[in-house]
Structure 1
């Protein structure tokens, strides 16, 4: 799929912006804090309903304004798509797809498929398990909106169980209702783990192949799903051992007032030639692995939805060496891509003939002609 038009009103530092977009490559160049990433953030929101930069929607509305508006028009494999999002201070977010009002964020997920790749993603391998769980949950949700719904339910049950544990710590009479929450936690948690297992198995196969290409067959990447529940082979065994482990750690959970077993504590193992590169890998190995994971994610979404997603590259090219840049760009030939950068020379591997180049300064976006591009490259 690809987007044709983007319209913003009072979004971040933009008063109003209307852009016609290239179906392949769109490059936004400018100094920091001029508004480049804001454009990518707006596009991401039309696909997910959320920002990849903040959980506070008030930050998205332009300072001194109380309303914000995003509108994109695009083409999918068999149909056109139009998405509108209106944000208003102290009011619920309004969303429309092809003029039809949506009541739930989950209903937005299957319309504009989008993946973001930023310098933070290059830290995916070496950061803590929270980041890797977030990676799994975002990507599975984008492909399967039902997972997003189940994850929300699981987190709500988890909060209820943790609150109950705190009450039990002070008064054991509350134990009577614990089994009810345990049953629901196991039911939802099992569904989440099943989807994660399937996702990681497919991700492992694709990322290993891509990683071999990037490293000229010198390194072998392996991704493992690391659950704190010992048996995660099939639904029946997951449920059995989830129940068992909840009972085994019950005294600890009551003392701490929190649930220490379940998918909210899981992680990914990332290995190169059998070595855990989260701990022992070089920066180059960690970045190569993160790149392979992101590219594999794109192929997974293509397999799941029947078309490539839109890719947002937020200042990531400058973080990669020339070899990794070239591999990334070669992989994007069939994908509409939005790139932000402070230095056009950092994009030396790009073929500029099939792209739109925009110069961004103080929330003003100007499409550059060939003369502008040559001047920018010479600086």
Structure 2
């Protein structure tokens, strides 16, 4: 799968631009703040329906305009698609696939799978559990549309339960309704937990294999899923039972806090390098390599699940990798479509012999 071309109107600093991509390596060069990351963002939203940089659609509209447009032609293994996204400052976002408008944006399953690696990804290790939960939710949703559906349902029930907790003065008066919410949370939450556990285990195995290759066997990478529900049995029925029991046990403290503290929305993953917690003890170089290994492992998982290759987006990260890591990356994944952004300092000799196209970006113009 690859992106054949993209058209942007009033998107970030692009007033109007059309870009035709090579099906393999694409290199976008330019100084900082010229629009390189904006271009990757436009591709990303054609896959996920939202940005990896902001939760507000209006942030992507040129500040002098009141609407913007993204149109991308996708060439897939079995079907070609034309994805269009229109955003306006005072209206909901509209998405069309092959000229057919989606009734709800969350129905977007464009068939375009992307893996992005950017300097911001260090947050997955360095920051709090939210970043790691968001990473898992985003990647599993791309692989399993039903997971995204369950996650939306879970969050709605969680919101209803929390609203009830905040307004509950007498538990007994609301116990029946709380028990209904608990039953629903445990049932859907267990499905979510099972997928997260399975994904983390697969990701750990593949990422470790990649990490050993990148580090010449000097380092091993291990991911561990951490839950406040007893998941040790890995048995769906037992996990659901444990989930219900913990919700019941923690009800009084939940009412006191006005929040539900049990469930996958409070879980985390721990990332170890040579059995050492990477968040606390790893150097920034080790952390960056660990994240790179995890991101590249996603490619294998997407290929396994979808039977097609994703598009790899590399946002100004090659300069932060040493020559061995860059060579591993380009040699291993040269059969994918790779879209690279970098400053003018990149050594183009490293790309000799690759099927490539080179672009220069300056102030929202692409040459």
Match of 1:68 in 2: 68
**For residues 117 and 335 of structure 2, what CA distance do their matches in structure 1 show?**
17
Q: Does 1:58 align with 2:58?
A: yes
**For residues 135 and 347 of structure 2, what CA distance do their matches in structure 1 show?**
27
Greater mean alpha carbon deviation, residues 304-313 or residues 107-116: 107-116
Alignment partner of 1:328: what SS? helix
Greater mean alpha carbon deviation, residues 114-123 or residues 43-52: 114-123
**For residues 12 and 57 of structure 1, what CA distance do their matches in structure 2 show?**
11
Are the equivalent residues in 1 in contact too, given 2:93–2:105 (CA < 8 A)?
no
Alignment partner of 2:161: what SS? helix
Greater mean alpha carbon deviation, residues 317-326 or residues 294-303: 317-326
**For residues 207 and 165 of structure 2, what CA distance do their matches in structure 1 show?**
40
Superposed counterparts of 1:120-131, under 5 Å: 120-131=120-131
Match of 1:288 in 2: 289
Match of 2:252 in 1: 251
Alignment partner of 2:5: what SS? strand
Alignment partner of 1:160: what SS? helix
Match of 1:370 in 2: none
Q: Does 1:271 align with 2:272?
A: yes
Q: Does 1:31 align with 2:10?
A: no
Superposed counterparts of 1:1-379, under 5 Å: 1-169=1-169, 173-232=173-232, 233-345=234-346, 349-351=350-352, 353-366=354-367
Are the equivalent residues in 2 in contact too, given 1:24–1:333 (CA < 8 A)?
yes
**For residues 11 and 143 of structure 2, what CA distance do their matches in structure 1 show?**
27
Alignment partner of 1:70: what SS? strand
Are the equivalent residues in 2 in contact too, given 1:169–1:255 (CA < 8 A)?
no
Say which structure, 1 or 2, has more relative contact order (CA 8 Å, 6+ apart).
2
How far residue 109 of structure 1 moved from its aligned partner, in angstroms, is 2.5
**For residues 339 and 201 of structure 2, what CA distance do their matches in structure 1 show?**
29
Q: Is the alpha carbon distance of 1:67 and 1:352 closer, same or farther for their aligned partners in structure 2, counting shifts above 3 Å?
A: farther
How far residue 199 of structure 1 moved from its aligned partner, in angstroms, is 0.7
How far residue 353 of structure 1 moved from its aligned partner, in angstroms, is 5.0
**For residues 335 and 345 of structure 2, what CA distance do their matches in structure 1 show?**
22
Return 5+ residue gaps in structure 2 as ranges.
none
Q: CA offsets per residue over residues 156-207 of structure 1, 9 Å max, x none?
A: 1111111111111477533341111111111111111011111112111111
CA RMSD of aligned residues (A): 1.6
**For residues 8 and 39 of structure 2, what CA distance do their matches in structure 1 show?**
9
Q: CA offsets per residue over residues 244-286 of structure 1, 9 Å max, x none?
A: 1112211111111111110011111112222222222222222
Q: CA offsets per residue over residues 295-332 of structure 1, 9 Å max, x none?
A: 10111011111111011111111222222222222222
Are the equivalent residues in 1 in contact too, given 2:334–2:354 (CA < 8 A)?
no
Are the equivalent residues in 2 in contact too, given 1:125–1:277 (CA < 8 A)?
yes
Alignment partner of 2:91: what SS? coil
Are the equivalent residues in 1 in contact too, given 2:94–2:105 (CA < 8 A)?
no
**For residues 354 and 202 of structure 2, what CA distance do their matches in structure 1 show?**
35
Q: Is the alpha carbon distance of 1:103 and 1:351 closer, same or farther for their aligned partners in structure 2, counting shifts above 3 Å?
A: farther
How far residue 231 of structure 1 moved from its aligned partner, in angstroms, is 2.6
TM-score between the two structures when normalised by the length of structure 1: 0.92
Are the equivalent residues in 2 in contact too, given 1:317–1:347 (CA < 8 A)?
no
Match of 1:369 in 2: none
Which runs of structure 1 show a deviation greater than 6 angstroms over 4 or more consecutive aligned residues? none
Alignment partner of 2:231: what SS? coil
**For residues 221 and 64 of structure 1, what CA distance do their matches in structure 2 show?**
47
Alignment partner of 1:360: what SS? strand
**For residues 287 and 235 of structure 2, what CA distance do their matches in structure 1 show?**
31
How far residue 26 of structure 1 moved from its aligned partner, in angstroms, is 1.1
**For residues 202 and 22 of structure 1, what CA distance do their matches in structure 2 show?**
31
Q: CA offsets per residue over residues 310-361 of structure 1, 9 Å max, x none?
A: 1111111122222222222222211111111113425653337521111111
**For residues 348 and 324 of structure 2, what CA distance do their matches in structure 1 show?**
12
**For residues 275 and 88 of structure 1, what CA distance do their matches in structure 2 show?**
47
**For residues 331 and 164 of structure 1, what CA distance do their matches in structure 2 show?**
52
